[in-house]
Amino acid sequence: MSSKGPGLFSDIGKKARDILTKDYNSDQRFTISSSTNSGLDLNSSLVKSRGLSSGDVAAQFKHKNKTVHFKVNTESSVLTTFTVTDVVPSLKTVASIRLPDYNSGKIEVQYLHDHAGFTTSVDLNRTPIIDFSATIGTAGVAFGAETSYSTSVGNFTKYNAGLCLKLPRSNASVILADKGDSMKVSYLRDLERLNGGAFVGEISRRLSTNENTLTVGCSYVVDPQTIVKAKLNNHGNLGALLQHELTHRSFLTISGAFETKELENSPKFGFSLLLKP
């Protein structure tokens, strides 16, 4: 699928969000993944969160432009996803269902063009929720909006809008969400002094309560195998993360969170280990 255009609505501000949120967790996760030359990928995960353990086993098979993905977890839930790309140029179709809930079926269509991106998804049940998003512009400047319509209540339950500006070494975005009640402005700057890392500043404002949150964060490339990230907001929440590539495509991630204004609270730590033999 084309990547020269404005992308999808979910891409607005994504790079800044990844630095501030991606891979931060307080759980313990262990994952083993393997691949075969025939296009079959196997993945097994164990997770311990808040004293509870869970796990899942997943298999994915790719053939030409088609992908079938199965995931079974310890709660006896089976997720099946079927993806087809480029039947029509720049079009991607995703169908999914989670058994034994037969009402969980969903079909999604994504279309990317040099000057526009569209997505629409529909629940496959008697009272479906219809989601739609559209983005127009170029790879440098884009405006987008998304909405969700519930047929059960006959009303729009979500509508958001966003704007982004991308330059060679920086980008900025503005997202208006929660039916116009919240606004988020973020700015990212790539810095050579961070060896390919970046600095991010983000301001979130809840209009109904006049609550503001300022978050700053950065990523630093220690070496080709090691990345360090950190973030801090005006409420005193501090987070840090270290990710190291043990071998080719095998990663160890350690993260921690600490509330600097509540010294009596113990810090929270989590780690994930992804092995790909």
Distance CA 88, CA 102 (A): 29
What are 97's two structure tokens?
């269902």
Q: Which CATH number fits domain 12-275: 3.40.50.11060, 1.10.3720.10, 3.40.630.10, 2.40.160.10?
A: 2.40.160.10
| Dist CA 213 CA 20 (whole Å) | 13
Given a contact cutoff of 8 angstroms between Cβ atoms, the answer to whether 194 and 167 are in contact is no
Range with lowest mean pLDDT among 56-65, 98-107, 143-152, 242-251: 242-251
* Local confidence band at 262 (pLDDT 50, 70, 90 cut-offs): low
Predicted confidence (pLDDT) at residue 213 exceeds the cutoff of 60? yes
Confidence of residue 274 (pLDDT cuts 50, 70, 90): confident
**What value does the mean pLDDT take over residues 15-20?**
95
- pLDDT value at residue 121: 97
Q: Are 258 and 267 in contact (CB under 8 A)?
A: yes
Q: Give tens-digit pLDDT for 35-84.
A: 888 889 999 999 988 788 999 999 999 998 999 999 999 988 999 999 99
Is residue 257 within 8 Å of residue 238, measured between CB atoms? yes
Taking residues 175-184, what's their average pLDDT?
94
Write down the pLDDT at residue 264: 57
Amino acid (one-letter) located at 219: S
**What rounded mean pLDDT belongs to the chain?**
91
pLDDT at residue 265 in the model: 64
Count of C-beta atoms within a 10 Å radius of residue 50: 6
Token readout for 99 is 């058994």
Residue 14 is predicted with a pLDDT of 94
Per-residue pLDDT at 89: 87
Task: Tell me the pLDDT band of 263, cut-offs 50, 70 and 90.
Answer: low
- What local confidence, expressed as pLDDT, does residue 131 receive? 97
Would you say residue 2 has pLDDT above 70? no
pLDDT in tens, 116-160: 999 999 999 999 999 999 999 998 999 999 999 999 999 999 999
Residue 4 has pLDDT above 80, yes or no: no
